[in-house]
Amino acid sequence: MQEIYINPPFIKLEQFLKFCSLVSSGGEAKMLIQGGKVLVNGETCLMRGKKLFGGEKVTLDVEGENQIFKVAVK
């Protein structure tokens, strides 16, 4: 699990995926999120604008392999 530090009190899910370089565009993030490939705190999240706060875990399922990231606030 990687910790990703953010400055503001929250970051939107779509922005978080781009910030972590997991996707190269908002369209790619949208496809992953709406395709059910992104979990927030263990639950599938279909909202691109979901606000992520410190301590939350984001799991990205790519080709059967899970990548887990923890949101941390500086």
Task: Report pLDDT digits (tens) over 27-73.
Answer: 999 999 999 999 999 999 999 999 999 999 999 987 778 889 999 98
Alpha helices (H) in 1-74, listed in sequence order: 13-19, 26-34
Q: Identify whether the C-beta of residue 40 lies closer than 8 Å to the C-beta of residue 52.
A: yes
Average pLDDT over residues 7-31: 92
Residue 18 has pLDDT above 90, yes or no: yes
Q: Which amino acid, one-letter code, is at 42?
A: G
